[in-house]
Structure 1
Amino acid sequence: MDRRDFLAGIGAGAAAGSAVSAGLPAYAATAAKHTAAGKNGGARPKLLMKLGCQSSPSTDEHFAFLARYGVTHIAAEGERSQGRLYSTADEVKAVREMAEKHKLTLAIFHPLLLPSSHIDKEAHGGIMLASSPEREREVEAFQNQIRACAAAGVPCIKYNMSLLGVLRTGFEHGRGDAMFGHWDAASAQPPTPLTRAGPVSEDAFWERITWFLDHVVPVANEYKVRIACHPQDPGTPPEGYQGIHRVLGTVDGLKRFITIRESAYHGLNFCQGTVSENLPRPAEQIFDVIRYFGSRKKIFNVHFRNIVGGRGHFREAFPDEGDIDMYKVLLTYAEVGYDGMLMPDHVPEVPGHPEAALQSFAFAYGHIRGLMQAAQHA
C-alpha cells in the first residue's frame, strides 16, 4: 500500500469513527465511510431506484399528498364493476392518467385477487383453497388483469400467496406515542386450531403455488407484464400455524419459488421487513439475501422497512431506528443494479389519531429520499 492509499484509508475510517463517537446511528457511520471512500476515488454503483408508495386511496387528494413529499412512482388500485374480479384496461388507464396529472408514474397495479388477508376473511379464496370451479374463475380473472395492465401501459402487478395474512401477537410502544406491531412465536395463540382451509402441508401449498404459476406466468410472458409475489409475513414454526405450513416464509422457500416456471416476468415484491423477520440475524444476513435475488433480477419492488429483532421474535420500527443499516442496504440494492421503487410499509400508528399514519408515511418518504440523495452525492 502506498502513502496515498494509506492516508485515504485513514480518512475513511476516521469519518466513520467520528460518526459513531458522535452517537449517530449505524447507518450514519456507514454513510460517512462510503462518503470518504467516494471522495477518494472509490467505485460507486449508479443509483437507479425511485421513491415509491403503495398507500391508498387512488384519489387526486392522495396522489397530491404523495407528490408533495417527493414520491415519484406508485403502486395503486382501480375501481372495479360489481361482480367482476379484475379492473379493465380503461379502469387501469384512468388511475394511470390521474397519477400522471400529479407527475407520478403508475409502476405497479394492485389486483383485487390474492391480497395479504386471512383466508377466513377472504371473499375470493378459490386459488389458495384449491377449490374448483372458483379457482379457475379467479385465475382467469388474474390473467385478464395482466392483459388489462399491458393494454394500459402498466408493467407490473403485485400479489400474495397467503392463507394466514399478516400475523402479529400484539403491539408495543415505540418512541413518543407510536405503536408498532410485534410477533413472538413462543407466545402466539391462534384464534382457532385450523382455518377453513383445514390442514395444508408443505407439499399441498407448493402444489397450489405451482398450479397458479403454471396458469399465469405464460400470460405474463406473452404480455410482458411482471408479476411480483410478497413473502409470507412472518415465517412460522416448522410445525406450522393453524395447521398451515408457510412455505414462502423462509429464504430457502423464496429461492425455490423463483425457479418454478422460471421467467424474467416472475419474481418478488421483496418486502425487506418480512425477509428480515424470517432471518435469525437480519442485521448481518439481509445484504447477501438482497444480492442473491437482486443479482438474478428477481426483485421487482422493495418494501423498504426496518425491524428490531429477528425470526420468531421482532417488532416493527421507524426506518431510522431498527437493527438494519438502511444506508448500507440501499447501497446493496444499487450494487445489484436494482432500478425499481423503494417504498415505506407498515408505518407506525397512534391510537386515536387517524392522521398519524400519513405523518408516519411523510417521515418515511423524507428518510428514504435523504438516504438516496446522500448516496447520489457521496
Structure 2
Amino acid sequence: MVMKVSITTNRTDLADRDLRQLCQLGVDCIDFGKGSSFVGVQEQGFPDLDEVLKLKRRVRSFGMDMNRVTLPDLTNNFMQDGPGAEKELDNAVNAVRVFGEAGIKIVRQRFEGDTFPYLTKSYPAMQRGGAVSRGESLGFMKDSHSTPTYEEQENWWKHFCAAYEKLVPTAEESDVLLGLHPSDVPNRDTAFGGLGYHRVIDAFPSKHVGYVYCIGTRAEEGGSSLVLNEINHYGRKGKLFLVHFRNVRGSLPTAGAFEEALLDDGDMNMFRLLLELHKVGYDGCINPDHVPIMEGVNTEPNPHWPHTCIEWNYSNIGYAYSIGYIKALLAALVEFAG
C-alpha cells in the first residue's frame, strides 16, 4: 500500500514548464479543481471526451496521471428549481460518463449553498516570518445572522438527493468514484458538516459514494481528535477517496476562529494522521491544499479565498515545501510502519 502525492490546479492549459516542475518536485498526480475549465463545458455544458483524453496523455507524458476532476457546478438555480435546472444536472451526469470513458476514477460534484460564509469574517493571519494565511473568525462578525430553518435545509437536502439519485447510478455504470468535499467553513448547520457528512453515505450506501476528505476543514470543526476519529470511521468503510492534507491552528468550537498553517506549524501532528490513514488501508493521494502565502509568491486575486493559495502555480515555494514535507513523512511512514 503506497500513498501518492497530488496537486490541485484550476487550469487545464498547463504549460510544459508547469508539468516539468511538478514532475521534478515528485508529484504523482494532478487534481483538477474547476469543472468549467475543461474544453467543451462552455460550448456544450460538459467536457469533450477527445480533449480530456488529450489532456490525460499529456499529463502522463510527464510521468504523472490525472487523479480527481470536478464536474460542472450545480448552482443555486438548480437548488431552487430555477429555469434550466434539469439541464444543469444533465450536464453533470454527462460529465461523469465522459470522465468514466476517459478512465478517470474520482469526480467531485459541487453544490452551491452548502456553506454560510456570512457567519465568519475572513482575515489575513500573520505567521512566522510574515507568511500570510487564511483566518476565519466568528467573533469579528458583529451583525446577527441566522442559519436556514430546518424546513429550508430539508428542501436543500431534497435537491441534493435528487442530484445524487442520478449521479450515483451513472458513477456505478462508469466505474467512477463520486467524492464529496466537506462544507468549508464548517459552520453550524452546514449541509456537509459533521452530521451532514455522515448522512450522505447513509442515504447513498453505494461503494462508489465517498469523500474528498479535507483534514483541515474537519479540524476546523473539532481539532485532531475529530479528524482521527473520522479517518478511522470512514477509512474502515472504504469511503476515503482523496485526502486534502492541511494543518490549522484553533477551531470554531474552541477558539471561535481558526487559521490555516504550514504543515509543520499548526495544531496537528501530521505524521500521526498519515499513520492513521495507513492503519485503515488508505492508498490514494495526499493533496496539500490551501497553502499559506510565502515570501515571493504571487497569487491570482480570488475574492472567495483572499489569504491563501488554493491551487499550485509555477515556482510557488509554499507548495514545493509542502510536497517535500509530505514525501518525507511518507518515507518515514515506510520505515516506521513497514
| TM superposition score category, shorter chain reference | 0.7 to 0.9
Does residue 51 of the first structure (1) align with residue 5 of the second (2)? yes
Aligned to 1:278: 221
Structure 1 counterpart of 2:262, one-letter code = F
Aligned to 2:292: 348
Q: When the two structures are aligned, how many residues end up with a matched partner?
A: 310
Aligned to 2:26: 70
Distance in 2 of aligned mates of 1:263 and 1:112: 22
Deviation at 1:134, TM superposition (A): 2.4
Deviation at 1:186, TM superposition (A): 2.8
Deviation at 1:297, TM superposition (A): 0.9
Aligned to 1:323: 267
Structure 1 counterpart of 2:2, one-letter code = L
Distance in 2 of aligned mates of 1:162 and 1:361: 28
Give per-residue Cα distances to partners, 1:13-37, cap 9 Å, x unaligned.
Answer: xxxxxxxxxxxxxxxxxxxxxxxxx
Distance in 2 of aligned mates of 1:87 and 1:333: 33
TM-score (norm 1): 0.76
The 8 Å contact of residues 72 and 109 in structure 2, kept in 1 or not, is answered as: no
Distance in 1 of aligned mates of 2:213 and 2:121: 19
Distance in 2 of aligned mates of 1:81 and 1:303: 26
Aligned to 1:369: 327
Does residue 93 of the first structure (1) align with residue 53 of the second (2)? yes
Q: CA RMSD in A?
A: 2.5
Deviation at 1:83, TM superposition (A): 3.5
Change over 3 Å in CA distance of 1:283–1:193 after alignment to 2: closer
Aligned to 2:171: 220
Give per-residue Cα distances to partners, 1:140-160, cap 9 Å, x unaligned.
Answer: 001111110111111111232
1:292 paired residue among 205, 225, 233: 233
Distance in 1 of aligned mates of 2:325 and 2:121: 25
Does residue 161 of the first structure (1) align with residue 161 of the second (2)? no
Distance in 2 of aligned mates of 1:80 and 1:352: 35
Change over 3 Å in CA distance of 1:165–1:252 after alignment to 2: closer
Distance in 2 of aligned mates of 1:205 and 1:331: 37
Distance in 2 of aligned mates of 1:67 and 1:160: 29
Aligned to 2:127: 174
Distance in 2 of aligned mates of 1:55 and 1:373: 25
The 8 Å contact of residues 71 and 96 in structure 2, kept in 1 or not, is answered as: no
Give per-residue Cα distances to partners, 1:346-371, cap 9 Å, x unaligned.
Answer: 11115874079511111100000000
Change over 3 Å in CA distance of 1:202–1:221 after alignment to 2: same
Deviation at 1:376, TM superposition (A): 1.0
The 8 Å contact of residues 2 and 283 in structure 2, kept in 1 or not, is answered as: yes
Aligned to 1:308: 249
Give per-residue Cα distances to partners, 1:165-190, cap 9 Å, x unaligned.
Answer: 76652111011121111111232367
Aligned to 1:258: 201
Structure 2 alignment gaps of length 5 or more = 300-307, 310-315
Change over 3 Å in CA distance of 1:194–1:101 after alignment to 2: farther
For residues 116-131 of structure 1, what are the structure 2 equivalents within 5 Å? 124-127=75-78, 129-131=79-81
Distance in 1 of aligned mates of 2:328 and 2:207: 31
- DSSP-derived class of the 2:31 partner: strand
The 8 Å contact of residues 161 and 230 in structure 1, kept in 2 or not, is answered as: no
Deviation at 1:205, TM superposition (A): 2.3
Structure 1 counterpart of 2:92, one-letter code = F
TM-score (norm 2): 0.84
Structure 2 counterpart of 1:63, one-letter code = L
Structure 2 counterpart of 1:180, one-letter code = S
Structure 1 counterpart of 2:9, one-letter code = S
The 8 Å contact of residues 49 and 99 in structure 2, kept in 1 or not, is answered as: yes
1:108 paired residue among 60, 65, 68: 68
Aligned to 1:146: 96
Structure 1 counterpart of 2:131, one-letter code = A
The 8 Å contact of residues 53 and 344 in structure 1, kept in 2 or not, is answered as: yes
Identity %: 25
The 8 Å contact of residues 46 and 94 in structure 2, kept in 1 or not, is answered as: yes
- DSSP-derived class of the 2:323 partner: helix
The 8 Å contact of residues 162 and 232 in structure 1, kept in 2 or not, is answered as: no
Give per-residue Cα distances to partners, 1:54-104, cap 9 Å, x unaligned.
Answer: 124331332222111111112125323533221121121122111101111
Aligned to 1:22: none
Structure 1 alignment gaps of length 5 or more = 1-46, 115-123, 238-244
Distance in 2 of aligned mates of 1:368 and 1:346: 15
Structure 1 counterpart of 2:3, one-letter code = M
